[in-house]
Amino acid sequence: MNSLASADTSLNERASLLGWDCVEFWVGNARTTAGFLMSAFGFECTSYAGPETGVTTKASYVLEQGDIRFVVSGALSADSPIAEHVRKHGDGVHDLALRTTDAAAAFRAAIERGALPVREPWTEADESGVLELAQVAAFGETVHTFVNRSGYEGTRLEPGYLADNLPSTTVGPSVGLTRIDHIVGNVEKGRLAEWVGFYCEVFGFDQLQQFDDAQIRTEYSALMSTVVWDGAKIVMPINEPADGLKKSQIQEYIEHYDGAGVQHIALRTDDIVSSVQALRDRGVRFMRVPDQYYVDAKSRLAAFDLPWADLQRLNILADQDRDGYLLQIFTETITDRPAVFFEIIERRGAKGFGEGNFKALFEAIERDQDRRGNL
């Protein structure tokens, strides 16, 4: 415990953050969202908590693929905070849980540096040992739970979750997603600097990249974005809307989600052509990319020998930076409100986020905005 550590020691030095622990979604019906993530995205359900396991506050499914762990939770009564969250935001991400070596130290360091407490450090114990947890507020109603698993054996999420009587694994082509690449937050106009400051000052993160609205704009829509990271595994681009001729897609998110929140989760694959083919075979819908994009992309990325026919057939985007190239694709929103979506990404050296694709992506998004009458 580092209770005497000075306030200028960052959280990350005092209770090192080891990476993502899990991402918890709060949804209207956990059973069906879990089923959707299993059938469409190829996740496996590895444990469940609910009335049948002695948990009376929520129904909750743990879904895993590669090193990715999602938790999908639904309310069991109208007075549940999950029900309130869903009423306000629709289905969305509630918790970006971070693995740490000392949850109490991480909590104290964060609070000293200006984070708002959500739940003081607490422990959960069962025959596997003791799990140490604490929770602070992030943007909007999103939270970060600090999770210390060093005293908790095995792979179970936490006490109350059992691997009995789970929904069976779906039949379908293997998707091959391996890990979380980055998680993007949308914040209200004018609040980007504040949240970048939060992650840099409170969490000890660094700024990795910055894009202003001159770089990320189309004829109609613009945004500003700054990427913060822990120097290793936790990578978080944060967006704020900027003025364009029409409504920014970030502003559309803020209005429909009713505040700041997680916009997309990028999931890594080692073979994006196989992954996207499998996802399409399983029924996942992706944003459409105009054919003209590939005429431009082939000349932009002429230095690389890429499977252009497959990329174009599957609507996969390509971009490069000085370290190599990346391939990426974005799903349509997975929520009823135009809010949360997934990105699938394969990196071949490149460390960027597809800046060269923003224009192509935005034009695709704007076609969908137009269809919803929001452009």
Q: Does 21 bind Fe ion (CB under 5 A)?
A: no
Q: Which is nearer to Fe ion, 147 or 235 (CB)?
A: 235
Contact (Cβ atoms closer than 8 angstroms) between residue 265 and residue 234: no
CB of 264 to Fe ion, least distance (A): 6
Q: Which is nearer to Fe ion, 11 or 93 (CB)?
A: 93
- SS3 state at 268: strand
Q: Which is nearer to Fe ion, 158 or 343 (CB)?
A: 343
At 198, the amino acid letter reads F
Question: Contacts with Fe ion: how many residues (CB under 5 A)?
Answer: 2
The CA–CA distances, whole Å, from 104 to 32, 86, 260 equal: 35, 29, 26
The interface region with Fe ion, picked from 32-40, 99-107, 292-300, 339-347 by CB under 5 A, is: 339-347
Q: Does 346 bind Fe ion (CB under 5 A)?
A: no
Cα gap 73→30, rounded to integer Å: 5
Q: Which is nearer to Fe ion, 59 or 235 (CB)?
A: 235
CB of 202 to Fe ion, least distance (A): 23
The interface region with Fe ion, picked from 190-198, 242-250, 283-291, 341-349 by CB under 5 A, is: 341-349
CB of 359 to Fe ion, least distance (A): 15
The interface region with Fe ion, picked from 122-130, 214-222, 335-343, 355-363 by CB under 5 A, is: 335-343
Q: Which is nearer to Fe ion, 230 or 343 (CB)?
A: 343
Residue 214: how many other CB atoms lie within 10 Å: 9
CB of 364 to Fe ion, least distance (A): 14
Q: Does 250 bind Fe ion (CB under 5 A)?
A: no
Residue 154: how many other CB atoms lie within 10 Å: 8
CB of 204 to Fe ion, least distance (A): 23
Q: Using the rule CB under 5 A, which residue among 158, 343, 346, 366 binds Fe ion?
A: 343
Q: Which is nearer to Fe ion, 82 or 266 (CB)?
A: 266
Applying the rule CB under 5 A, the residues between 257 and 286 that interact with Fe ion are: 266
Q: Which residues, in sequence order, are CB contacts of 147 under 8 Å at separation 6+?
A: 21, 22, 97, 98, 99, 100, 103, 131, 132, 133
Contact (Cβ atoms closer than 8 angstroms) between residue 68 and residue 267: yes
CB of 239 to Fe ion, least distance (A): 10
**Residue 170 forms beta bridges with which residues?**
none
Where on the chain is the footprint of Fe ion (CB under 5 A)? Answer: 266, 343
